[in-house]
Chains A and B, each alone.
Chain A
Amino acid sequence: MRKWLTGVIGLILLTPGCEKDDICDEFARTTPRLIISFYDFENANNLRTVNALEIIGDGAEAPLGVFSGVNRIELPLRTTDDVTRYRFRLNSNNEAADNIDFIEFNYARQDVYISRACGYKTLFRLADVGGVVLTDATPSDALWIKSFTLNTLTIDNEDETHLSIYF
């Protein structure tokens, strides 16, 4: 009986020490970014890499990045507003050949509970009409983005391409 008692007390003391749910797991599915894949306009099945594509969000302090040799980028959307607008400047390393287009995302937000450590995440649903708006720079330098396809309205993970851009 006494051994049993010792065992139970031991178990009580040991159990909580084994759990670590105070730190948000880096692999947890948290607030997703919008995934863009770039395709060749002439041959729509082929992915195409961008050259010196500088991306800046409206209101952001610094460019998101200058992307070269990639055909997939991840765009953070604002979690405090229903609109996020980005400037896409292709060939940013060449003043003579650069071209600026804008893409505006309009969406509704939903905050979804994750866990004690992670709190909540924001999921996005692009508007049925005008969810993605492509505009040229002023003065116009012609659109370098020839067309785009929206694969889903729901942005709730980073596993799939949400927006395909053809150029």
Chain B
Amino acid sequence: MTQQNAYPDALGRFGAYGGRFVPETLMSALQQLEADYRRLAGDPAFQSELRGYLETYAGRPTPLYFARRLTAAVGGAKIYLKREDLNHTGAHKINNCLGQALLAVKTGKRKVIAETGAGQHGVATATVAALFGLECKVFMGEEDMRRQALNVFRMRMLGAEVVPATSGTRTLKDATNEAIRYWVEHVEDTYYIIGSVVGPHPYPMMVRDFQRVIGDETKRQIVEREGRLPDMLVACVGGGSNAMGMFYPFVADREVALVGVEAAGRGIETSEHAASIRRGRPGVLHGAMTYLLQDEFGQVTPAHSISAGLDYPGVGPEHAWLHDTGRARYEPITDEEALEAFYLLSKTEGIIPALESAHAVAQAVKEARSMDKDQVVVVCLSGRGDKDVEQVAALARAPEGEA
């Protein structure tokens, strides 16, 4: 537990990673945010109000479900699913959004902004903005707006303004750039709800803390069901917030293997993937030192994944550190493998996973296969697949090779 309390350090570092590499204009706001967060995080009234929203609004605790037919189909370790897909808005993102929106409210901010990739974080932000009566702008890459049109409609229905990011690769990375640029200009009256464990300190710490409810519940639930801790946790990693939330309460439990799943796109040997830890080098993206896909001279190179939520050239700095220390390992899953798992889970369990979460399912299947039948794997099923149905259907219609 000491390890958990020690990181990040005073500079917001997880080992060599993290920190604050942002324009000077934002520095005071980040220091203020850190102070506000530390004060409210230790305030029982804030925590109990947040818990109230998580329970009565988001629908927590989410179930830990034993996937009996999936387990039988794989023929190895028992596979449990932590059902974050059953949260209000359909993914784990709401945990963090409720926490940050409440923080915004308590610190007197009436305007919030967010970046979004798949649209899940944008929808969750638009949702909490409606809940708390906040003005909301969501930055989304033009390419992602096309891929996730349904979520764009959702955000607008919820009263948010969706601002297309037209620069660069027009995906999550560029939406984040645009959100940061907007924040630099409106920092005095606007709260930036970052959607993952990325960005400058204190965001990676804060988002982790708001997402750790996933791991805390899982720990309690698996002990109730199995009488012991799981052998392995598996979660997908784009920025890595569902994984960090799942892993964090288990970091000190060395007997629990932590497996993060990166999007390998068309293969990590190609140039079209989003495997920042596997194939990247340490560098600075969106204000933090972390693993990053980049060329020789530090230009950020585009990521690729079938799933918009994993299509990100960086990763949360705490994951970079968990990787370096060997506490967690990070494995690649290709677009094709994720699609296969998407169908497998749908057909064996009647649960259509988000394409992001399908990456975790695919890796869990690989792992479980070579484990004993009495071993236990918990997969963080971070989101539901409704948003991806159209895209997957289009892929099924496409001629061979175009998928």
Question: A and B from one assembly?
Answer: no
Binding site for A on B (CB under 8 A): none
